[in-house]
């Protein structure tokens, strides 16, 4: 996995670099002190995992998460535990406290690797199906047209299709990037729906496959526009 470190503290960056160097499946693509430099790197290099400091002068890690949607997996790094809950609201993969402990670091990056390996998009133009990893060497193809909705479940997600349910290790952000935006929409922190599978719409919910799914206030207007209702 290609990794990027974003931290204004040089000593902290060196600590993460040392942990990455000890981990066989990680490759350090770049290490930078601020968001502006990092964005240039993300545009020009394939990055799979970002180690993101929370407190930085130019732009905080949380502001970065709020502002940019199409970013890779994130592992937050900070000295304050209270940032953990807010970080998970933005689908971060894990949270590490400073000073870093390598055993805890390894647990976090192993989780990131499992998520990285758990999904592939294949098919014509890479846009007709999703391969999910069910076992160590077994992948199952899910056609996009058969997916009803996706539901967050702690460190896992449930993918509901016309044939049943599939549970995989992933974040909502990771799976959202694999689904074509013209067909799917995240209508709530915990739900992504296939738009043409919506059967009914009420004030603050939709019905998909017979299940009522909440629509967050911030996504409601966008959903109505996508459905040509407003």
Average pLDDT over residues 29-56: 91
Residue 131 lies inside a defined structural domain of this protein: no
6 with 109, same domain: the answer is: yes
Strand, helix or coil at 160? strand
41 with 93, same domain: the answer is: yes
169 with 106, same domain: the answer is: no
Average pLDDT over residues 96-102: 93
106 with 205, same domain: the answer is: no
pLDDT of 3 higher than 90? yes
Residue 136 lies inside a defined structural domain of this protein: no
Residue 90 lies inside a defined structural domain of this protein: yes
- Show the domain range for 74: 2-117
Provide the mean pLDDT of the chain.
88
Phi-psi region of 14 (alpha: psi -120 to 50; beta: other; left: phi over 0): alpha
Instruction: Say if residues 193 and 187 touch (Cβ distance below 8 Å).
Output: yes
Number of compact structural domains in the chain: 2
Instruction: Say if residues 213 and 201 touch (Cβ distance below 8 Å).
Output: no
163 with 92, same domain: the answer is: no
Per-residue pLDDT, 118: 74
Q: Enter the tokens of residue 214.
A: 């909440």
Query: The domain that contains 103 carries what CATH number?
Result: 3.40.50.2300
Listed in sequence order, the residues at least 6 apart from 1 whose beta carbon sits closer than 8 Å to its beta carbon are 25, 26, 27, 48, 49, 109, 112, 113, 116
SS3 of 176-217: the string is: HCCCCCCCEEEEECCEEEEHHHEEEECCCEEEECCEEEECCH
Residue 141 lies inside a defined structural domain of this protein: no
Per-residue pLDDT, 61: 85
Residue 18 lies inside a defined structural domain of this protein: yes
Residue 133 lies inside a defined structural domain of this protein: no
14 with 61, same domain: the answer is: yes
The count of residues in the chain is 230
- 115 vs 119, more confident: 115
Per-residue pLDDT, 103: 96
Domain stops at, among 70, 98, 117: 117
Average pLDDT over residues 83-97: 78
Q: pLDDT-derived band of residue 125, with 50, 70 and 90 as boundaries? A: very low
| Element containing residue 217 per DSSP (H, E) | helix 217-226
Beta bridge pairs of residue 200: 207
Question: CA-CA distance, 169 to 156, in Å (whole number)?
Answer: 4
Average pLDDT over residues 43-49: 91
85 with 159, same domain: the answer is: no
């Amino acid at each position: 996995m290609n990794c990027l470190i974003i931290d204004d503290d040089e000593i902290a960056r060196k600590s993460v670099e040392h942990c990455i160097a000890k981990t066989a499946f990680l490759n350090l693509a770049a290490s930078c002190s601020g968001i502006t430099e990092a964005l240039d790197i993300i545009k020009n290099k394939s990055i799979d995992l970002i180690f993101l400091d929370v407190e930085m002068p130019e732009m905080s890690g949380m502001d970065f998460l709020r502002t940019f949607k199409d970013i890779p997996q994130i592992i937050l790094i900070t000295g304050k535990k209270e940032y953990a809950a807010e970080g998970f609201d933005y689908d971060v993969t894990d949270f590490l406290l400073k000073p870093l402990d390598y055993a805890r670091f390894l647990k976090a990056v192993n989780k990131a690797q499992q998520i990285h390996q758990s999904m592939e998009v294949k098919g014509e133009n890479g846009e007709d199906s999703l391969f999910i990893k069910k076992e160590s060497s077994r992948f199952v193809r899910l056609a996009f047209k058969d997916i009803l909705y996706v539901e967050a479940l702690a460190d896992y997600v449930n993918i509901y299709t016309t044939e049943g349910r599939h549970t995989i290790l992933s974040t909502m952000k990771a799976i959202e990037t694999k689904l074509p935006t013209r067909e799917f929409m995240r209508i709530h922190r915990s739900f992504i729906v296939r738009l043409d599978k919506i059967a009914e719409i009420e004030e603050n919910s939709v019905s998909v496959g017979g299940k009522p799914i909440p629509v967050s206030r911030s996504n409601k207007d966008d959903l109505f526009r996508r459905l040509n209702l407003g």
